[in-house]
Amino acid sequence: MASRSVNKVILLGHLGKDAETKFTPSGVSRSSFTLATNRRWKDQQTGEWKDVTDWHNIVLWRSENVANYLLKGKQVYVEGRLESRSWEDKEGQKKYITEVICDDLILLGGRGESGGGGGEYSAPVSMPRSAQRPQPSAPASTPPDDFSQGITDDDVPF
């Protein structure tokens, strides 16, 4: 049998706190935040519905312009992969963490600054990995082309 494997995570949830952005010594941004997902299940003994919240650690590289919109309570869609790592703390104890390394992020709206419940809607803002490459900008004197709308070959899914 072929030795294939898959490491894919898809999450839809709400941010637990504002994203925190730091920079590596070479200037690459690393934004991190927690994401809450909920699930319901029915207790067989009591017949009551139970709500459980799972918390996920998300890491988003090269995202300093999007991180400003990653605010507590915002609903986001995240695609990425799981990555686990370990280190030793100051007391010599071995620590472990599992994070979702985000490849694609879509801001969905909801619970933003106005504190509303999910009735709000804002147009999704997508940040695919292809958008992280620097794009050549058009000269300021050239009028925008009404038909291109900034879409490149990288945006076409086929």
The phi, psi pair for 43, rounded to 5°, reads: -70, 120
End-to-end CA distance of the chain: 30
For the cut 60, the answer to whether the pLDDT of residue 9 exceeds it is yes
Query: Who has greater pLDDT, 139 or 57?
Result: 57
Predicted confidence at residue 106, as pLDDT, reads 93
Query: Who has greater pLDDT, 126 or 58?
Result: 58
* Over residues 144-151, mean pLDDT: 49
For the cut 50, the answer to whether the pLDDT of residue 104 exceeds it is yes
- Burial of residue 94 (number of CB atoms within 10 Å: 0-12, 13-18, 19+): exposed
Predicted confidence at residue 68, as pLDDT, reads 85
Domain boundaries, the chain: 9-138
* Over residues 80-99, mean pLDDT: 93
- Domain 9-138, what fold? OB fold (Dihydrolipoamide Acetyltransferase, E2P) (2.40.50)
